[in-house]
Amino acid sequence: MPTGVRLMVVRPHPDDEASATGGLLARYGALGVPTAVVTCTGGEEGEVLDPDLDPEEAKPRLRDIRLAELRESCRILKVAELRLLGYRDSGMEGWEANNHPAAFCNADLDEAAGRLVRVIRELQPQVVVTEPNRSGYGHPDHVKCYPVTERAFFAAGDPAQYPDAGPPWSPARLYSIASVRSNWNKIARMLIEAGFEESWLTRRRRYNRRWGIAKKDATCAIDVSPYVEIQRQALAAHRSQIEPESWWLKIPPDVRRVAFGTAYFIRVHPTPAPGEKDADLFAGLD
């Protein structure tokens, strides 16, 4: 039976739903729009940063810990449906975990897309949001997430593909997350004024210049500033991954609204006309 989900967010790891898409999910959840999160891996290669956990004891059961954190984050964000693709965290580029046969980075594209097709056909979203194409963040799972989602997005509506995955369903739009680099100087200045350590901010500024897009190149910008504190709560639910003293959690509300108050996207399908901008992910849809 269809669940009535309108927005589906496909992310690689537990905690990704709360970062670049946390404000978006909180906004639509608060507006009563049914949302879904699909998480591709169990996050097994994450660190253990929760001061209440013994890293050696917790590491073998990190998948279970992180999935519990994911469920709590989704509850905070008012996510209606959570689905897991069931792959293993690949770890950072060059790690031994890249070679694990169950790692997401090693998944057959058609097989992985088939798992996601089944979820799309079950939940019947209008809009799907996922990673940037050729993500500047080189984590293998973030890189893998886009082609799997794109393949599934177009296959889900074709009855000839994956016939055992349920009746066909064609989502109306596919968006990729856009990282906009132009705000970083302002954010860094505000953080320095708030007492944050300057050498780290300088390194981060150089890092941000290497990837991301100009603000003008985003095809959709959504104001999520009223929801940044909900996003913070969702991030804080991932205790194993985010230290209590992390800048993610400690930055002042005014800086948080600048850093996370606008969610940017690029519409992948249907291809926007030159200069076309979407005021909302659902603009013009029933």
- Specify if 242 maps to a domain: yes
- How is residue 83 written in tokens? 């689905």
In a domain, 185, yes or no: no
CA dist 121 and 167 (Å) reads: 6
Residue 203 falls within a domain, yes or no? no
The model carries a pTM of: 0.93
Question: Does the residue 281 lie in any domain?
Answer: no
Region for residue 47 given its phi and psi (left: phi exceeds 0; alpha: psi -120 to 50; beta: otherwise): beta
pLDDT, tens digit (0-9, with 9 covering 90-100), for 224-240 = 999 999 999 999 999 99
Is it the case that residue 73 has pLDDT exceeding 70?
Answer: yes
The total number of structural domains in the chain stands at: 1
CA distance 40 to 142: 10
* 210 inside domain: no
Residue with tokens 């069931």: 86
Q: What is the pLDDT of residues 181-219, one digit of tens each?
A: 766 777 777 877 877 766 655 655 555 555 678 889 999
What digits encode the pLDDT tens for the residues 23-53? 999 999 999 999 999 999 999 999 999 999 9
Q: Is residue 120 part of a domain?
A: yes
Q: Which amino acid is at 172?
A: A
Q: Which domain holds residue 72?
A: 7-178+218-269
Closest by CA to 268, choosing from 171, 178, 175, is 175
In a domain, 57, yes or no: yes
Those residues with Cβ within 8 angstroms of residue 98's Cβ, 6 or more apart along the chain or in another chain: 90, 91, 105, 106, 140
- CATH number for the domain spanning 265: value is 3.40.50.10320
The answer to the question of residue 202 being in a domain is no
